[in-house]
A = this chain, B = another copy of it.
Amino acid sequence: MRITITAFDRSPDGGKGLARDTRVRWALEEVGQPYDVRLVDFAEMKEPAHLAIHPFGQIPTYEEGDLALFETGGIVFHLAERFPGLLPEDAAGRARAITWMFAAVNTVEPVILDLVNVRILEGDKPWAAERMPLVVERIHGRLRQLAARLGEAEWLDGAFSAGDLMMVSVLLRLRPSGLLDQHPGLAAYVARGEARPAYRRAFADQLAVNTRPAD
């Protein structure tokens, strides 16, 4: 059955690959599944037809026959479970890889996304400048812990897995801030993710959407 995902008609990042459809595109490329993309704009995302698939009115979504999923973690996990290549075969390695998926979205991403609060949602508030160093320090604290665990390893736990795909995707959101460069081990880890052919194809495809001429 043909897979269809949704993505921003025009991503706010202009094609830097930071919109969340990139994670799902990457996973689809890793497992070698073709897919269609339905582009939605910000107004369409809040309409009943889209909310029926994504209750929080965001992208991406995933449709495959009667199955409709939202939430990148859920979609990537579904692909990892259904097709080989993103989860170890042994039960313990698999459980640890899934734990890293959750760690990426629940322990690492929230401190990083606070940058969006301080910069954009609250960018015009009088406290924005003074609050920024606190937000940045919380990010560095989390990154130091992650860097300590990764050490000199290539990936978080053995071979590349859906846990790395999610963690690299989350860390990539730091790229524009320059904060990632202060953690050379993690910067190299992210670069290894970006160098994967599947990531490069996913990135190129979202870039083509976001840099296409106006209709």
Query: Are A75 and B55 closer than 8 Å at their CB atoms?
Result: no
This chain's copy number in the assembly: 2
116-170 of chain A: CB within 8 A of chain B? 117, 121-122, 125-127, 130-131, 134, 138, 142, 145-146, 148-149
B residues in contact with A107, CB < 8 Å: 56, 58, 71
Query: Are A71 and B103 closer than 8 Å at their CB atoms?
Result: yes
A69 within 8 A of B: yes
The 29 listed contacts between A and B (C-beta, < 8 Å) are A51-B145, A55-B103, A55-B145, A55-B146, A55-B148, A55-B149, A56-B107, A56-B142, A58-B107, A67-B95, A67-B96, A69-B95, A70-B99, A71-B103, A71-B106, A73-B102, A74-B101, A74-B103, A75-B99, A77-B102, A78-B98, A78-B99, A102-B105, A114-B114, A122-B131, A122-B134, A125-B127, A126-B127, A127-B131
175-210 of chain A: CB within 8 A of chain B? none
A30 within 8 A of B: no
A92 within 8 A of B: yes
B residues in contact with A114, CB < 8 Å: 114, 117
The answer for the CA separation of A17 and B13 in the assembled complex, in Å, is 40
A74 CB contact (under 8 Å) in B55, B66, B98, B134: B98
Interface string of A5-23 (1 = CB under 8 A from B): 0000000000000000000
B residues in contact with A51, CB < 8 Å: 145, 148-149
Q: How far is the CB of A158 from chain B (nearest CB, A)?
A: 14
Secondary structure of the A contact surface, majority rule: helix
64-97 of chain A: CB within 8 A of chain B? 66-67, 69-75, 77-78, 81, 92, 95-96
Q: How far is the CB of A164 from chain B (nearest CB, A)?
A: 14
